Structure 1
Amino acid sequence: MTATLRSTIAEEAKSLGFDAVRFTSANVPASIGDALDRFIAEGRQGDMAWLAETATRRKSPRALWPDAQSVIVLAVNYGVEGDPLAALRKRSHGAVSIYAKRADYHDVIKKNLKVLAGRVQALTQGGVKVFVDTAPVMEKPLAARAGIGWQGKHTNLVSREFGSWLFLGSIFTTAEIAPDEPEEDHCGECRRCLDVCPTNAFTAPYELDARACISYLTIEHKGHIAPQYRAAMGNRIYGCDDCLAVCPWNKFAQVSHDAKLTVRASADNPPLNALLMLDDAGFRKRFRGTPIKRTGRNRFLRNVLIAAGNSGDTALAPKVEALLSDESPLVRAMAVWALSRLAPETFHSLRATFAGQESDSDVRGEWLEVAA
């Protein structure tokens, strides 16, 4: 009966577009929670206060839902053709992480998860709950325990079938379903993901300090980005795929054919000159339905201005200068930095006037510092 149930659920999952489905117990080792505790104790979560706030529930599926017996882990492939890092060579364009160039995966996956959960409930007569990333669930450790893949030295999931490019979701159920065997770690002596990191965010193999990670800085971090990270960011305006893209297991990666996850032209490494002109309405319209929209226009423009400052494209200077009077201190501060890089003479000619009028101490500090 158990084998039949597992195969039936797997077939249903595949019919809904899931590329991998595995099973694991809702009872997980304490070591998973211990690793989270160390991460938070050292402050490596940065602005992500929700990690500490939900830590107790996050440590185990049963801490979140005591009645849970099994977890069904689902994965959707989002691989693309070509070199994921090719965009880094186009300095006049903003490099957007592969996952964010398309419809928000939370919305796409959750709809299908709910359908599958309904079918699981009908099959087992057990209770079900669905989760996609935003809930306090440690999806990567669960996926590794279920055999979807293993957590590489960059802490992300790696699959022998799909490489680095998997979206994850899970269904908790009160039904008891025989678990799959965990996947072994196949990283070996390789450390490409560690060595490629532009900001040295890995403190050791399998350990990440989010505060130095470009994905964190461009997406989660709410404040000004520290000067020591700006040049290293290059033209990355939303996320960073470097550690994922260099993994040798990507030789087995497959191109996604899910029509709902088609890359959108509006988010496909757009030109910086167009992005620098975005007001709030224009930002919302351009990135509606994508993960990018969640950051908000001001944080996004902060990232775009850093990319502009790193581009060497002096033609962008007038548009950068126009943002010196923006309503957002985040935007004004990075406009100062970018202008100092693109048009030093203009920067120095405006410095006294703008610094004297600036009400925000952080922005004034940008004016008063001699930019590298």
Structure 2
Amino acid sequence: MSTMLSPEELSERIRARAREMGFGAVGIAPVHESAHGDAYQRWIAQEMHGDMAYLAREDAVAKRLHPAVLVPGARSAVVVGLEYFNADADPSSIADGARGVVARYARNDDYHELMKERLIQLQDWINETLLPVHGRAYVDTGALLERELASRAGLGWHGRNTMLIQPRRGSYWFLGAILLDVDLAYDAPFQKDHCGTCSACVSACPTGALLGRDESGAPRMDARRCISYLTIELRGPIPRDLRPRIGNRVYGCDICQEVCPWNRFATPSSEPAFLAREGLDGPSLIEWMGMSQEEFSRRFKNSPIKRTKRRGLLRNVAVALGNWGSPEAFPALALALNDEEPLVRGHAAWALGRIPDERSADALRARIAVEEDEWVIAEIRASLGEES
């Protein structure tokens, strides 16, 4: 174990080791009270977090505003990034209503496990090679404002799309951090907003989730309208007025990143685990609509998509098929009307109401005769034009 290393030497060796381990970005920041606490609390007070109650819990808010609550005595944060961008194998699939669009980050293995394991290895190396430290690694699952720490560590700025953007490297990054109870030499914080007057992301968002910046300059998003929230975090029905705006995006959304000029610099990830799995780059919506629980569990093992559970994914697929509006989708949706999950049946009913096929009304009437779930009955009646 090295002894008597200066903070500068410690930081440089940590940065070098992180790069050796495959992290494409690394910076070190001091741990102190969040500079975005007021903006975060206003966002919670306006209920823009939707059903994500874990973001508003008193203990979770305290941890986000004061990271040292997570790791008592924490003084430094080692912040890392892993690039995950991979181009679409077939760009035409985005405009093909018969095929679904999965957010790039979810076309591969679950990054949480890969990054967390690598961060723990980095922390162990610091303990064994440099000096004894107490700390903890975080990859999204902890009450930590990673993007603020990353900006403080010099890795980029908060774009209008709320993403952390790195100059000439873009925003397709997974972020992680280790909080440590030791003083290190810190990188200069990233202070300039390179978005300038560009608002391409705000204009391109189909659901109007991006709200620009508030009076303090913080980017604002109404998560309740975000396609990523609607297709992943929301557990119940997707609001009817937002369903047509989702298009064929069945898990997450990259639109605000796809239109960002800085992402023209994005380079394909060199991490093998982030290559798209077979069938996740433009999947057949009709095929997915008939997915059993067993197939779902097998296909999405170690995948981020397992987060939605089968019922959530098929809810999203039903909406996408309704937006496609082709009679070709009728058999799959008619079968979904008898799914064991009310969430799937109700969205299948909505989708059938958007398909110009005389068989749709017959299928809906047959289902309403035996349906017991009141919400599903309301969806069927709306599709039949019996109520607004």
TM-score range, shorter chain: over 0.9
* TM-superposition CA deviations, 1:246-298 (whole Å, max 9, x none): 11111221110111222111322211121011011111111111100121000
Does the aligned pair in 2 maintain the 1:24–1:71 contact within 8 Å? yes
Given that 1:133 and 1:139 are in contact with CA atoms closer than 8 Å, whether structure 2 keeps it comes out as yes
SS in 1 for 2:362: helix
Q: Give the counterpart of 2:180 among 173, 179, 182.
A: 173
Query: Among residues 171, 179, 188, which one is paired with 1:164 in the alignment?
Result: 171
Give the aligned partner of residue 156 of structure 2: 149
Tell me, what secondary structure is at the counterpart of 1:266? Answer: coil
AA aligned to 2:355 is L
Which residue of the partner structure matches residue 137 of structure 2? Answer: 130
Counterpart residue number, 2:207: 199
Instruction: Give the match's secondary structure for 1:341.
Output: coil
Distance 2:92 2:232 in 1: 21
CA drift of 1:313 comes to: 2.7
Q: How does 1:1-372 map to 2 (within 5 A)?
A: 1-29=6-34, 31-53=35-57, 54-81=60-87, 86-122=92-128, 123-183=130-190, 184-205=192-213, 206-370=219-383
Question: Given residue 108 of structure 1, which amino acid in structure 2 is its aligned partner?
Answer: L
The corresponding residue for 2:216 is: none
Letter in 2 for 1:128: G
1:190 counterpart letter in structure 2: C
Q: Deviations over 1:30-51 (max 9, x none)?
A: x322221111111111110110
Aligned equivalents of 1:155, 1:100: Cα separation in 2: 19
Distance, in Å, in 1 between the alignment partners of 2:92 and 2:255 is 11
After superposition, the C-alpha distances for 1:336-356 in whole angstroms (9 at most, x for unaligned) are: 011111244223223333223
Q: 1:294 to 1:126 in 2, by over 3 A?
A: same
1:185 partner letter: D
Q: Which amino acid aligns with 1:256?
A: S
d(CA) in 2 for partners of 1:193, 1:179? 32
Q: State the distance in 2 between where 1:97 and 1:137 align.
A: 23
1:13, distance to aligned residue in structure 2 (A):
0.5
Further displaced range: 289-298 or 349-358:
349-358
- The CA RMSD over aligned residues, in Å, is 1.6
Whether the 8 Å CA contact 1:77–1:162 is kept in 2: the answer is: no
Letter in 2 for 1:15: E
Query: Where in structure 1 do 4 or more consecutive aligned residues deviate above 6 Å?
Result: none
- Distance in 2 between residues matched to 1:128 and 1:350, nearest whole Å: 58
Change (3 A) 1:41 1:85: farther
Counterpart code for 1:94: G
SS of 2:185's partner is: coil
Q: Which runs of 5+ in 2 are unaligned?
A: 1-5, 214-218
TM-score (ref. length: structure 2): 0.92
Output the amino acid matched with 2:210: F
**Is the 2:71–2:180 Cα contact (8 Å) retained in structure 1?**
no
Q: Contact 1:88 / 1:234 at 8 angstroms: preserved in 2?
A: no
Deviations 1:94-136 (A, max 9, x none): 1000000000000111111011011122313221210000111
Which one has a larger percent helix, Structure 1 or Structure 2? 1
304-313 vs 104-113, which moves further: 304-313
Counterpart of 1:313, as a letter, is S
Mapped to 1, the partners of 2:231 and 2:294 lie a distance apart of: 20
SS of the residue 1:237 aligns to: strand
Give the structure-1-normalised TM-score. Answer: 0.96
